[in-house]
Chain A
Amino acid sequence: MAATGDPLSPDEHDRVRAVLYLGGMRTDALEDGVQQVRVKLLEQLRTRGRPRHRGAWLATVAGRVALDTHRARRHERGLAERIRHRDPPQVSDRGRTAEERELALVVEQALQSLDQDVRRLVVLRFYADLSVRQIAEQLGVPEGTVKSRLHAAMRSLRERLRETEVV
């Protein structure tokens, strides 16, 4: 995007924003989150050059920013209060069927029930579509760890989806 000077293309911007949102960031903080990712990308480009897998890199950094923000917020206030302050799931009616709205709400609630670290893995794997190996490489953890956490997360999500009869 040389014309605008933004290192993020519009598509990348939207996807970074989505990963931040799915990672639990408040909607009013999303643009600041995108800005943090943008700054990290510029630093990366300046000091180490282009990431080998740019999409995976951006998704992972966005996941980390969401996690850091969550930790900072948790530090500021108790967990119960944090949950109260978390944006209520917002699923607009525009162009959505009742089934879609329900599904989005259930998935949002299921995500909120996960540990933040695990939530990040779920978003990277099933939204950003990174492979287990890519996630492990980007986060610097063993593949087995990523796999076992995702495995447990999927079982937990299944229970949630079953409870609400989504599956």
Chain B
Amino acid sequence: MRARRAHDEGDAWDAVVTGQAPSARRLRGDPEIRAQWDEARQVESRLRQGLGLLAEEARMQETQKTDMDTETVHGDAGAPAAGAARRWRRAALVVAAAVVVGLGAAAVGLQPWSGDDGGSEQGTASLSGRGLLACAEVVAQGQVDEVEAVSGGRVELRMTVGEYLKPRKDPGGRLEVTTQGRAELRAGIEAAVVVYPDRADASVYPGEQGTRLLSQLRPYAAEPDTLPRCEGSG
């Protein structure tokens, strides 16, 4: 029994490591395996949340530093490598600021890390406000009513929509999307969601981030005929 338990527990961790969940039949048939799988998944989910929060720290520190650099841009004579990096970064931030959604989009994984073979040139087009709106299937904002964990550290959000930018619809409808789980995604918060037709998970922008995104996209949504053709989304 002891050997079996160790083996089953190993299976649960293997499943988390490989991202391949045990079959539903197996989970239904053995409560012990179900419990081990749930625990392993919970550890994975917390780990991912923690890593995401720490990654945000790295970005926030950079943002604060860049803000300070921008204020004291004259006379900045840092070390050559660091100085070049800051200049590059500053230029990139200018572009990102121009398209407004850039950093917010990066924060929530508009362009996933893995599986991509796209260059940054392609990303530039898709990060523009018009491009984002053109390529998205749904852009909406509303109140998150429920958050439920699903497989692989992801969560399903159920929300009541307060505003649709795309498609143009009346508010009040219900929307359900899946996304990568993060601690900040909770019932009761306001969030904007962007759903792309070729991606399984939605991009979710909680709170102020979502409000900013919507306010930037709203003028473009009012003139759908002026949106560019969506390119590079495949």
Contact = CB atoms under 8 A, between A and B. Distances in A.
A92 interface: yes
A129 B98 CA distance: 29
A67 interface: no
Nearest to B94: A4
A104 B44 contact: no
A10 B120 CA distance: 9
B183 A99 contact: yes
B124 A130 contact: no
Interface string B33-56: 000000110111011111111110
Interface in B51-76: 51-55, 57-62
Contact of A27 (B61, B115, B183): B61
Contacts of A91: 53-54, 57
Max count, chain B CB within 10 A of own CB: residue among A10, A59, A103, A127: A10
A11 B123 contact: yes
Interface in B162-197: 183-184
B95 A35 contact: no
Given A7-B120, A35-B85, A150-B17, A104 B54 contact: yes
The 8 tightest CB contacts between A and B, nearest first, are A107-B50, A9-B120, A18-B55, A21-B58, A11-B106, A104-B53, A4-B91, A55-B113
11 contacts: A3-B95, A11-B106, A11-B111, A14-B107, A17-B59, A55-B115, A94-B60, A104-B53, A127-B48, A154-B44, A166-B46
